[in-house]
Amino acid sequence: MSKQTREIYITGNSPLDTVLGRIAERLDYVEGLRADLSEGYYYLQDGKLITTNNDPLLVEDVIGTDDKITVTDNGDGTITITIPDTYLPASVLGTTNQITVTDNGDGTITLSTPQDIHTGASPTFAALTRIGTALNNLAVSASGNLSFNGTARIDWTKHTANAVTTTFGTPTGSVTDLQTRNDGNVYQVAESASDGIQTDVTFTNVSAFNWIGLLTVYKGIASHIIGVLGEIAPFDGSAWATLTALDSHGSIEYYEDYSVFVPDCSVFINSGAVKIRFIHSSSSSAGHNLHIDEVALYQ
């Protein structure tokens, strides 16, 4: 380009471009003599210097693509390139079972996943190969089986007991003594020689649970056991289901874990309340004792 507004096209031939550059410089000196070309163009054609007011770049040299890109000659040396609103580039592709590309028909597209995965959605998967880190994770197979690797474990929600009542026997302690295992606090019941043992542990505000955590020990004779029951409908104290039984030991040496898995917890929940009973009503003997370290519901 000269110091004014004329343009010299670069040909890519260095000697020729040098000549064109010199011509542009000389044209600056004759500006007053060639005012009619002050906005013109100069280029070489067949060895001759051509002057013109039109851009020598031919519009027909710029070609569009049918139904995709349209090139319009504006008649003043310029062109307009347009893309139809309905043109969806073929290069925008989705991935099977991962990303779906939808042509909206107005020049826009929508990207989506095969199913909703937002925080409030409930997506369904054939299997989950890993939940967690590479070393500590939970895997869910297509058949629904769970497997844990490393230190991965289910984070259970614990419901602690709200009340404890002993109808038969002599209790020592309070409900807080049976809420946490291995904390040094134990709820004890000395067996009545005439009526044995009956202790009820009550939970409130329970909507569901999967298993009952029991850590206890019963000091008695080998033929004696403690039944662990759960109250069921009609929830008037008349109907109970056996959950497990506590074996008898000759002394209080160690506590045993009698935790129970409950497939259907709904039969044990009455307006949010759950009642667990420890009972030994036959062949009772003074000097026998029930120690309860924990009774808890886990969800």
Question: Which residue pairs from 247-252 have beta carbons closer than 8 angstroms and sit at least 24 positions apart in sequence?
Answer: 247/218, 248/218, 248/219, 248/220, 248/221, 248/222, 248/223, 248/224, 248/288, 249/217, 249/218, 249/219, 249/220, 250/219, 250/221, 251/219, 252/217, 252/219, 252/289, 252/291
Return the percentage of the chain with pLDDT > 70, whole number. Answer: 72
8 Å CB contact between 92 and 111: no
Backbone angles phi, psi at 24, to 5 degrees: -60, -40
Question: How far is 240 from 295, CA to CA, in rounded Å?
Answer: 17
Q: pLDDT tens digit string along 77-89?
A: 677 877 766 665 5
pLDDT higher than 50, residue 37: no
Cβ neighbors of 7 (< 8 A, separation 6 or more) are 1, 41, 42
Q: What is the per-residue pLDDT for 232?
A: 96
Please count the CA atoms within 13 angstroms of the CA of 181 that sit on its side-chain side.
17
Q: Quick one: tokens of 132?
A: 């967690």
Q: What is the per-residue pLDDT for 25?
A: 61
Give me the residue spans of the domains in the chain.
7-52, 158-298
Q: What is the overall mean pLDDT for the chain?
A: 80
Topology given in CATH for the domain delimited by 158-298: Jelly Rolls (2.60.120)
Q: What is the per-residue pLDDT for 32?
A: 44
What's the one-letter identity of residue 185?
A: N
Q: pLDDT tens digit string along 150-206?
A: 777 788 999 999 999 999 999 999 999 999 999 999 999 999 988 999 999 999 999
Distances (CA, A) of 92 to 32, 84, 97, 107, 161: 56, 16, 16, 12, 59
Q: How confident is the model at residue 207 (pLDDT cuts 50, 70, 90)?
A: very high
What's the one-letter identity of residue 201?
A: V
